Structure 1
């Protein structure tokens, strides 16, 4: 009986030892194909019916599609890096679509240098102002959508332009930027606050960025 009890105890202790061991966590690393800017056109089918699509030929900088000139001044100055990232201009590819719900810009370009914003910059740029000639506006940083192996930043901006005769025109933009694999990709949705038509919303633009990144990676 003593021998039997000792054996049972040994078995139970061995079992306890095995139950205490934690299995290795499953791998969550996902592999992606290289970014191919030519695939940016694949996300155009996400646009609703009734939108006119064209090739984008401007700079790969959200600040320009917001209605500001390339010489726009940001305050604080360092926040301008979020709206005009350093890229190789000749690598820019993209498209735009205009319709009753606003104008959508989807653009990608190779980064000219490491451009992923650090936490300190993001903290300093929770809100800032921007101006260019007769246009002035405010920008508020938001949280971007979660995209695997990419850092995202979102910005909500409003701009007012004073035209001849003192008339003011206003615009609003929801912009989502992804920094991935040596490239910068952004989707900007520009809308008219006074439009009589239902406008596209920030959720649409965020989803379009996710779809576009997936298309770029193949």
Structure 2
């Protein structure tokens, strides 16, 4: 399971070219329902399926790290990488990871964030990333509507070529919620080649909404 988790956190397959990228979905926003407190992130653990093993996140907690990209990553266009590596106050970051038959789940909350620039979202409907033996594509997708926050979503498909030429692919969904300077995001990484059924396509979006609710008083 440890090797699976390390490899799974690398995400992707390369999307076919030749078609213009569709316009990116706009972040959604609705009336606030209460303040988000990152220190309450453990409350969201109870939203996981049964039999998932949970641990506190350590080290790099940015979405791109959860997708499997090392610290020496690059993005094309370069500015789009900011959507996968949002700036937060690392001292306030709290989160957990969980692994089970359906995939790997991450939930992180932090303060000191800045909502994404709408102009950046318009430029980054789709982009590519690379870091060492890992490469892939990322694209914006519709985000869940969560009361009181701005939300956005991305899908990352990643390919890692390991020693001997073996290829490992993974698929990741990350959904992000901004409330002022507070940020919450949920990432779900699945293995397209796994014999076990993956977590449902709506699981990540639903978990973001449930996590935001759990972080409020």
The residue aligned with 1:54 is 55
The residue aligned with 2:168 is 169
The residue aligned with 1:101 is 102
Q: Kindly report which structure 2 residues correspond to 1:7-18, keeping only aligned pairs within 5 A, or say none.
A: none
Task: State the TM-score, normalizing by the size of structure 2.
Answer: 0.83
- SS of equivalent to 1:48: coil
* Deviation string, structure 1 residues 138-186 (Cα, Å, up to 9, x no partner): 0010111111221111001110011111111111101101111311111
- Alignment partners' CA distance in 1, 2:210 and 2:203: 11
Offset, 1:29 = 4.9
The residue aligned with 1:11 is none
- SS of equivalent to 1:43: helix
- Alignment partners' CA distance in 2, 1:29 and 1:40: 22
- Alignment partners' CA distance in 1, 2:110 and 2:201: 22
- Alignment partners' CA distance in 1, 2:117 and 2:50: 39
- Alignment partners' CA distance in 1, 2:104 and 2:216: 25
More helix by share: 1
Q: Kindly report which structure 2 residues correspond to 1:1-218, keeping only aligned pairs within 5 A, or say none.
A: 29-32=31-34, 34-112=35-113, 115-218=114-217
Change (3 A) 1:160 1:30: closer
Q: Specify the structure having the higher radius of gyration (Cα).
A: 1
Q: Which runs of 5+ in 1 are unaligned?
A: 1-27
- Alignment partners' CA distance in 2, 1:164 and 1:107: 32
Offset, 1:108 = 0.8
- 8 Å Cα contact 2:31-2:147 kept in structure 1: no
Offset, 1:31 = 4.5
Task: State the TM-score, normalizing by the size of structure 1.
Answer: 0.82
* Deviation string, structure 1 residues 6-43 (Cα, Å, up to 9, x no partner): xxxxxxxxxxxxxxxxxxxxxx95541x3221211111
Change (3 A) 1:167 1:30: closer
Change (3 A) 1:146 1:166: same
Q: Which runs of 5+ in 2 are unaligned?
A: 1-29
Runs of 4+, deviation exceeding 3 Å: 28-31
Q: How many residues align?
A: 188
CA RMSD of aligned residues (A): 1.4
- Alignment partners' CA distance in 2, 1:30 and 1:190: 29
- Alignment partners' CA distance in 2, 1:55 and 1:129: 29
- Alignment partners' CA distance in 2, 1:41 and 1:142: 27
Change (3 A) 1:194 1:84: same
- Alignment partners' CA distance in 2, 1:183 and 1:30: 13
